[in-house]
Amino acid sequence: MRIPVLRIPFDGDDRRFLQEGWEGVLDSGQLTLSKHTQEFEEAFREFSGTKYAVAVNSATAALEVILRALDVQDASVIVPTNTFLATALAAVHAGNRVIFADSDPATLALDPDDVARRITPDTRAVILVHIGGVITPRIAELKALCDERGLHLIEDCAHAHGCSIDGRMAGSLGVAGAFSFFPTKVLTTGEGGMVTTDDERVYNRVRMLRNQGKNPDLGNRISEVGHNFRMSELTALVGVQQMRAAPRLIEERRRAAAFYDAALGAVEGITPLPLPEGVESSYYKYVAYLDPDIDRAALKRTLRERYEVALTGEVYAELCHEEPLWERYTYCGRLRGERVACTRWPGCGCGEPAGDFPGARRISERHVCLPVYPGLGEDELAYVVESLSAALPASRVDAPASERSR
């Protein structure tokens, strides 16, 4: 039995809906910012429980326009080092310095205590990433810290479509949220992103910034230094289809996760990450920690080569502050010279080392992500668990060489 990294499900009804819709888009001649974009935004606004939603062309763009809409510039922005680097680069693109912070292995999310000690006089925002679809129960504590220090709390919800905590949806917990629709995500349009917010000023500015700065109140004359972050109508149509399918897609991921929850208790060497109380996840990833003596690379290799089970990528195996980018660039995105002497703004501190991150280090080194996408049958899920049971003993660092290489 072969278990691939990912399957993206589009059934016959999905394909017919898209084919008919694409014909309509092509016939209309309106290929961007038309009725399908508006329909997608309205459906996603209701889905996320916010007053407003604005479609853009990526989650990276969504984060950048949120920061710019909030006038966060020439400042520092705190982001977890345990995230995809695009989170940090969005802050750089918006004209800021990145400060990396540690994460809690119990939630994969920012550690509020570490955030507090990394705040500097020029810090203006904190970006909380809901890694793997887990919302930290310490979000209220983090929000209180931001309110006390006058900081904006922004959600990176790239992993968190349909996730909630105590009944409140991801994307509605901070001043604004940024979603991704990359092919691996819970809901996908191929490429694309969405901004969610309850703040009318943020909403209006984001709409202008995504569309070259055009101001509808001034007859679309340009009043912002905007960018082309628009979503095409063809992409938005896929978004409309995904919103129609969202309950089914999310339920299938939850079904797969429930199977693992029940089955993995009998498997030695691996411990699933439990969801915090009050959290509902859509399981962008099913995260489990390996025992310290399990060689992750050997395990993944054995599963792939001997059992044809492909584990998905980790979240994340490499920490942001260790990416080779920072060897050439400072933390505000300037090229390093013989010495770092950034004069971008007083007190930038962009050449300072990032520091230690023991929690993020444990996350990056010790976890794996099991297949959890829609369409996995119970027989396939059982095969994944059976393959793990067989592969884990041979992946221990003290296993006989004959077992490890077999």
pLDDT of res. 406: 47
Structure tokens at 116: 């507090």
- β-pair type (270-272, 286-290): antiparallel
Check residue 290 and give its pLDDT. Answer: 98
Mean pLDDT score across all residues of the chain: 95
pLDDT at residue number 340:
59
Residue pair 178/50 in contact by the 8 Å Cβ criterion: no
Q: What is the pLDDT of residue 146?
A: 98
Give Cα separations from 190 to 49, 170, 242, 282, 315 (angstroms): 24, 21, 11, 19, 20
Looking at the domain 12-242, which fold is it?
Aspartate Aminotransferase; domain 2 (3.40.640)
* pLDDT at residue number 93: 97
pLDDT at residue 399, as a whole number: 61
Least confident stretch, 145-154, 171-180, 289-298, 343-352: 343-352
Is it the case that residue 402 has pLDDT exceeding 60? no
Report, as an integer, the average pLDDT of 127-154: 98
Provide long-range contacts, Cβ within 8 A and 24+ apart, for 240-245: 240/21, 240/36, 240/39, 240/40, 240/43, 241/14, 241/17, 241/18, 241/21, 242/181, 242/187, 242/188, 242/189, 243/40, 243/43, 243/44, 243/47, 243/187, 244/17, 245/14
Can you give the residue ranges of every domain in the chain?
12-242
Q: What is the pLDDT of residue 336?
A: 83
* Mean pLDDT to the nearest integer, 262-280: 97
- Return the pLDDT at 351: 78
3-state DSSP of 207-247: HHHCECCEEHHHCCEECCCCCECCCEHHHHHHHHHHHHHHH
Name the pLDDT band for 405 (thresholds 50, 70, 90): very low
Instruction: Output the pLDDT for position 271.
Output: 98
User: By 3-state DSSP, what share of the chain in percent is helix, strand and coil, each rounded to 5?
Assistant: 40, 20, 40
Q: How confident is the model at residue 335 (pLDDT cuts 50, 70, 90)?
A: confident
pLDDT at 338: 61
Model confidence band, residue 319 (pLDDT cutoffs 50, 70, 90): very high
Residue of 152, 87, 91 lying closest to 126 (CA atoms): 152
Task: Check: CB of residue 286 under 8 Å from CB of residue 263.
Answer: no
Is the pLDDT at 51 greater than 50, yes or no?
yes
- Banded pLDDT at 203 (limits 50, 70, 90): very high
